[in-house]
């Protein structure tokens, strides 16, 4: 990770997650950034300016009209100084003020006065995060090009749990770090992620437990390594990684069509999605009513997307995934050979393993090598996997 040469203006708004902001300052500086800090009144109720001054090694800014600033226009000076503005945590109130263009405190005013890109890292109660007003404000900010990082799902200060937790400081730094000289610089990648939903009737479907986290972690890491990334995603609640083009699909047939449409000219295709092997032959047009009688569903095979991609002329380097409940390596090795893949990443799934978890373990198999990555958090595994893929692609040329 590198932020060398970046001048980051860190805005901290009110909320208990403000206690993480001093650690974020330290990690931004460790990555090479110069950091200046702006605190709202709410933020100062949780963490004082002296704490930030100690870790940032520079004066902390709190007042809109600063008598010590040049011409008393501190917000203009800061707005021009910054190459990036990052707000972490960004409270629900902060998001609303930005969305509506308020300018009656230092942080909101400099956001209007700057031409630097703005990133906000929301943190709040999960009910506030899911409120229609918050969703509307986020949509407004995204339309203006403001980048949203997080929040993540997890324990909250009030003893509840859900989406609303501030991203960890190291993950924020990773998301901000785009390495244009990275291992995949100049490469074009197509990645699939998440499950597919195969309709039974208008309200029911056949699906699986995939959260999409592994595929999204790979897309995030690939963009950070300088690649141009197209992500074809099944239904998932995850946010689109920064710098990634996302195409939403629902069924396996839709994912197949999207892959075949976008695979041409790609250097690498990573098929991380958990595509349903079967679909309902004839989905019901209306909801199937419950009764005491037994019923059955006729299933027909879905297209084998990765095998079809591997059979294309002038195909990209292809990496498949194998989720297995037994004989993981043997089954993955057979799958790679049967489908003609360059590499396969296999993992064991089951209760507490693989699907819908933060960590994973991958067994990587190619024609000439086999190795195991992890157990480790999925973002770390994604980086390691992409380095292996980059080495393999480079060896081909």
pLDDT tens, residue by residue, 211-256: 898 999 899 889 878 899 999 999 998 878 877 899 999 999 999 9
pLDDT band (50, 70, 90) for residue 71: very low
Lowest model confidence (mean pLDDT) among 5-14, 145-154, 171-180, 373-382:
171-180
Question: Over 60: is that where the pLDDT of 70 sits?
Answer: no
pLDDT at position 265, please? 94
Question: Over 70: is that where the pLDDT of 354 sits?
Answer: no
Lowest model confidence (mean pLDDT) among 234-238, 262-266, 294-298, 346-350:
346-350
Residue with more model confidence, 68 or 121: 121
Residue with more model confidence, 224 or 333: 333
Model pLDDT for residues 272-284, shown as the tens digit of each residue: 999 999 999 999 9
Q: If DSSP states are collapsed to H, E and C, what string results for the chain?
A: CCCCCCEEEEEECCCHHHHHHHHHHHHHHHCCCEEEEEECHHHHCCCCHHHHHHHHCCCCECCCCCCCCHHHCHHHHHHHHCCEEEEEEECHHHHHHHHCCCCCCHHHHHHHHCCCCEEEEECCCHHHHHCHHHHHHHHHHHHCCCEECCCEEEECCCCCEEEEECCCHHHHHHHHCCCCCCCCCCCEEEEEECECCEEEECCEEECCCCCCHHHHHHHHHHHHCCCEEEEEECCCCCCCCCCEEEEECCCHHHHHHHHHHHCCCCCEEEECCECCCEEECCCCCCCCCCCCCCCCCCEEECCCHHHHHHCCCCCCEEEEEEEECCCHHHHHHHHHHHHCCCEEEEEECECCECCCCCEEEEEEEECCCEEEEEEEEHHHHHHHHHHHHHHHHHHHC
pLDDT band (50, 70, 90) for residue 111: very high
Percentage of residues of the chain with pLDDT beyond 90: 60
Model pLDDT for residues 6-52, shown as the tens digit of each residue: 899 999 999 899 999 999 999 999 988 999 999 999 999 999 999 99
Task: Please give the positions annotated as active site.
Answer: 208
pLDDT band (50, 70, 90) for residue 209: confident
Model pLDDT for residues 172-194, shown as the tens digit of each residue: 898 887 665 577 888 999 999 99
pLDDT band (50, 70, 90) for residue 157: confident
Q: Which residues are annotated as a binding site for CTP?
A: 277, 287, 303-306, 321, 335, 339
Lowest model confidence (mean pLDDT) among 37-46, 350-359, 363-372:
350-359
pTM over 0.75: no
Percentage of residues of the chain with pLDDT beyond 70: 93
Q: What average pLDDT score do residues 384-393 get?
A: 92
Domains and their CATH numbers in the chain = 7-176 (3.40.50.1950), 188-396 (3.40.50.10300)
């Amino acid at each position: 990770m590198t932020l060398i040469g970046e001048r980051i203006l860190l805005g901290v708004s009110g909320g208990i997650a403000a206690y993480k902001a001093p650690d974020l300052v330290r990690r931004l500086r460790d990555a090479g950034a110069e950091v200046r800090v702006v605190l709202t009144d709410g933020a100062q109720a949780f963490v004082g300016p002296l704490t930030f001054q100690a870790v940032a090694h520079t004066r902390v800014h709190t007042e809109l009209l600063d008598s010590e600033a040049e011409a008393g226009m501190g917000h203009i000076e800061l707005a021009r100084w910054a190459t990036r503005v990052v707000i972490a945590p960004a409270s629900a109130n902060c998001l609303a003020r930005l969305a509506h263009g308020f300018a009656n405190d230092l942080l909101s005013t400099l956001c209007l006065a700057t031409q630097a890109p703005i990133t906000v890292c929301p943190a709040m109660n999960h009910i506030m995060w899911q409120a229609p007003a918050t969703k509307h404000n986020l949509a407004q900010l995204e339309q203006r090009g403001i980048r949203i990082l997080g929040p993540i799902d997890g324990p909250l200060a009030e003893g509840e749990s859900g989406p609303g937790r501030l991203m960890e400081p190291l993950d924020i730094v990773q998301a901000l770090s785009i390495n244009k000289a990275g291992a995949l610089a100049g490469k074009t990648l197509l990645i699939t992620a998440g499950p597919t939903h195969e309709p039974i009737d208008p309200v029911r479907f056949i699906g699986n437990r995939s959260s999409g986290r592994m595929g999204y972690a790979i897309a995030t890491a690939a963009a950070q390594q300088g690649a141009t990334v197209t992500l074809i995603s099944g239904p998932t609640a995850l946010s689109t990684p920064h710098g990634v083009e996302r195409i939403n699909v629902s069924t396996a047939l839709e994912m197949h069509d999207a892959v075949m449409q976008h695979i041409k000219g790609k250097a690498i295709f990573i098929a991380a999605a958990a595509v349903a092997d079967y679909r309902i032959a004839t989905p019901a047009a209306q909801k199937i009513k419950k009764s005491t009688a037994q019923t059955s569903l006729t299933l027909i095979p879905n297209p084998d997307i990765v095998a079809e991609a591997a059979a294309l002329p002038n195909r990209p380097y292809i990496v498949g995934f194998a989720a297995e409940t037994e004989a993981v390596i043997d089954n993955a090795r057979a799958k790679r050979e049967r489908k003609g893949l360059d590499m396969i990443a296999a993992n064991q799934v089951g209760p507490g393993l693989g699907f819908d978890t933060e960590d994973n373990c991958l067994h990587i198999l190619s024609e000439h090598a086999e190795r195991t990555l992890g157990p480790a958090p999925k973002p770390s595994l994604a980086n390691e996997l992409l380095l292996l893929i980059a080495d393999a692609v480079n060896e081909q040329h």
